[in-house]
């Protein structure tokens, strides 16, 4: 049975020599990050005893308590943090140091205690890129991408695709305002080829004209088993690939329909593992056994 989340104000100081890692979010109860990290740390401890003293917790932190959480956890001996909903963008004004890529993406999912303060990184984009290579044996530069959604996850995916030279990105979001906001942030951050905002009626032509179309679901639609697909897949080219960032449930309606149409399709578990592995690499400076994380993710999800 997974441990319940820790609550701020009720976290014990770590013993001497211990290093604390944690994921902060709200709600955080369902996060499987502790299982992924612990399985990698257990294997790393076999090579370097130091890592037997590292532990990874999940902490329930509402958005208004993030500043207090960062101070408190640093004082208690935590040295690495992951951030999830709703903290990835809100954390930016609280940081003195932000890695260049994370600053361009405009979102942070990893904090590392460096030179007596938290430094922000973004490992979602790298995790996403790695997962796509594994799922479809192609890199982001080889696709024309339709991204569904314009939240934090979409922002990291679009920025990563642009870093890697993706030739064309279309963006479809429920609210146009949020899509425009995403494009504005990317332009402000010097991306020269930001996505084209599409209406639902324009999607078919965008995908039909693509030589290697890739659809990415970065919306929350699909998190509930009963959710409909965010997009109709009828009439799309045979070589369409579909990546759903959702990993629980393992098969969303979108993925079921993609497989029924014989499209290559994958859920978001690989992205979760990829971002976790990169975060642990940043904190530990050591080789991270990604296969241990993959095994733990399959058991936990
Ligand atoms: P945000 O809350 O920042 O964004 C949510 C997005 O989903 C918005 O674009 C929102 O549209 C859209 N949306 C929400 N409900 C609906 C709906 N009913 N119909 C259509 N669109 C909807 O979340 P994140 O960007 O952080 O996460 C997005 C998804 O990616 C989630 O499912 C999350 O689980 C997954 N994810 C997976 C990761 C992985 O490692 N595999 C990592 C991070 C996220 P609008 O702007 O109109 O509100």
Q: Is 207 among the domain residues? A: yes
pTM (whole model) above 0.85: yes
* Strand, helix or coil for residue 90: coil
d(CA 13, ligand 1 centre) in Å? 35
Separation of alpha carbons 99 and 119, rounded Å: 7
Separation of alpha carbons 180 and 173, rounded Å: 10
Separation of alpha carbons 131 and 16, rounded Å: 37
Whether the pLDDT of residue 301 is over 90: the answer is no
pLDDT tens figures, 106-127 = 999 999 999 999 999 999 999 9
Number of domains in the chain: 2
pLDDT tens figures, 91-109 = 999 999 999 999 999 999 9
pLDDT at site 1: 62
Residues 256 and 156 in one domain: yes
| Of the candidate ranges 10-19, 80-89, 137-146, 169-178, the one whose mean pLDDT is the lowest | 10-19
Q: Which domain holds residue 257?
A: 125-267
CATH classification of the domain holding 180? 3.40.50.720
Residues 47 and 61 in one domain: yes
**Mean pLDDT value across residues 257-279:** 98
Residues 116 and 245 in one domain: no
Whether the pLDDT of residue 2 is over 80: the answer is no
Q: Is 163 among the domain residues? A: yes
Residues 32 and 141 in one domain: no
pLDDT tens figures, 5-52 = 999 888 888 988 899 999 999 999 989 999 999 999 999 999 999 999
Residues 211 and 79 in one domain: no
d(CA 177, ligand 1 centre) in Å? 15
Tell me which residue has its CA closest to atom 2 in ligand 1: 151
- Backbone CA torsion sign across 18, 21, 24, 29: negative
Q: Measuring from each residue's beta carbon to the nearest atom of ligand 1, which residues come in under 6 Å?
A: 85, 124, 149-154, 173-175, 178, 218-221, 223, 230, 245-247, 268, 271-272, 275
pLDDT at site 125: 96
Residues 130 and 247 in one domain: yes
pLDDT at site 13: 85
Q: Is 187 among the domain residues? A: yes
Q: Is 156 among the domain residues? A: yes
Catalytic residues: 88
Q: Is the peptide bond before 288 cis (omega within 30 degrees of 0)?
A: no
CATH classification of the domain holding 109? 3.40.50.10860
Tell me which residue has its CA closest to atom 30 in ligand 1: 218
């Amino acid at each position: 049975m997974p441990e319940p989340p820790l609550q701020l104000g009720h976290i014990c100081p770590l013993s001497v020599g211990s290093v604390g890692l944690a994921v902060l979010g709200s709600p955080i109860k369902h996060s499987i990050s502790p299982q992924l990290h612990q399985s990698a740390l257990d294997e790393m401890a076999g090579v370097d005893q130091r890592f037997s003293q590292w532990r990874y917790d999940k902490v329930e932190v509402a958005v208004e308590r993030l500043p207090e959480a960062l101070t408190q956890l640093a004082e208690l001996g935590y040295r690495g943090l992951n951030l999830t909903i709703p903290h990835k963008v809100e954390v930016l004004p609280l940081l003195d140091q932000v890695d260049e890529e994370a600053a361009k993406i405009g979102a942070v999912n990893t904090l590392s205690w460096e030179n007596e303060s938290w430094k922000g990184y973004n490992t979602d984009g790298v995790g996403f890129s790695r997962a796509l290579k594994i799922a479809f044996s192609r890199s982001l530069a080889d696709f024309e991408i339709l991204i569904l959604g314009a939240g934090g996850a979409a922002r990291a995916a679009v920025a990563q695709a642009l870093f890697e030279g993706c030739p064309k990105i279309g963006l479809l979001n429920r609210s146009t305002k949020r899509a425009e906001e995403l494009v504005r942030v990317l332009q402000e951050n010097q991306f020269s080829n930001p996505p084209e905002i599409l209406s639902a009626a324009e999607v078919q032509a965008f995908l039909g004209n693509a030589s290697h179309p890739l659809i990415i679901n970065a919306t929350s639609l699909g998190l509930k088993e009963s959710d409909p697909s965010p997009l109709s897949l009828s009439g799309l080219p045979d070589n369409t690939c579909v990546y759903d960032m959702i990993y629980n449930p393992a098969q969303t309606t979108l993925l079921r329909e993609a497989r029924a149409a014989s499209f290559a399709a994958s859920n978001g578990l690989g992205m979760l593992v990829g971002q976790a592995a990169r975060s642990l690499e940043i904190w530990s400076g050591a080789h991270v056994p990604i296969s241990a994380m993959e095994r733990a993710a399959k058991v936990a999800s």
